[in-house]
Amino acid sequence: MMSLKSTLKKFIPERYHSLIQRIYFNLRSLWYIGNRFICPYCNGHFRKFLPFGVKPRPNALCPRCGSLERHRLLWLYLKDRTNFFRDSLKVLDIAPMGSFQQKCKDISNLDYISTDISSPIAIIKMDITNINLPDNEFDCIICYHVLEHILDDEKAMRELFRVLKPGGWAILQSPVDHKRDKTFEDPNIVSPNQRERVFGQKDHVRIYGRDYKDRLEKAGFTVKLDNYSRELGNNIIKKYGLMKDETIYFCTKPKPKND
């Protein structure tokens, strides 16, 4: 059976993909209505979330909005630990998720821009390693599970640092193997099948280790590792379908010392 994604690509113009997908998800979610799980993104109540992943994880995907564990964690974190919903902020979102982008457009205090080199829903098309925007432009940057796809991630980190305002903050999230001291990458591994076998996904180019923080700091950021999800408690983690051990990489750009 042809998947929704394959059908969209084959028969429907790209500009309509996001709309058709939202309609499909809304209809699909009716089958899963219940009270066991809550999605903080769409406020849906479901008897279960859907499995998702190369090795499918149970209760990972919201049947209505398509959010995954990491997206739901981000939304809760932004509400609980940041000024995202309170202050006037100019926001740069890298490789936007459709439901997140739509919500951000509707938040009156945000001046929201999204970018990606290929995504049809991104507001502007740009390469993260060559961001064609002024220095010190944004109060906030969201770069969520992107850098593990970027060949020159250190250049991308420097660009993100450049366009962030002094005193601004960024959530620069990537999968990190905390059992590894050092990031593993090999530029000779280029085929999708090789990358899936070695890095876990066909479009990943490395496995970050604990030195991910060091790489961000080398670009100029001050990095706080926030174990927010663990503080929520097991009942909340289960109710919202979160991952207990995902650490938030909350990065700030220092202000000049004479400020």
pLDDT band at 16 (very low <50, low <70, confident <90, very high): low
Q: Give the pLDDT confidence score for residue 24 in this predicted structure.
A: 67
- Number of residues that this document lists for the chain: 259
CATH topology for the 68-252 domain: Rossmann fold (3.40.50)
Helices (H), the chain: 4-11, 17-29, 69-81, 98-105, 153-163, 192-199, 212-218, 228-232, 234-240
Domain map (residue ranges) of the chain = 1-67, 68-252
Query: pLDDT tens, 80-130?
Result: 999 999 999 999 999 998 889 989 999 999 999 999 999 888 999 999 999
Q: Does the pTM of the predicted model rise above 0.85? A: yes
Q: What percent of the chain has pLDDT over 70?
A: 88
Query: pLDDT tens, 152-171?
Result: 999 999 999 999 999 999 99
Residue 61 has pLDDT above 80, yes or no: yes
Query: pLDDT tens, 221-235?
Result: 999 999 999 999 999
pLDDT band at 258 (very low <50, low <70, confident <90, very high): confident
pLDDT band at 132 (very low <50, low <70, confident <90, very high): very high
pLDDT band at 1 (very low <50, low <70, confident <90, very high): very low
Secondary structure of residue 118 in the 3-state scheme: coil
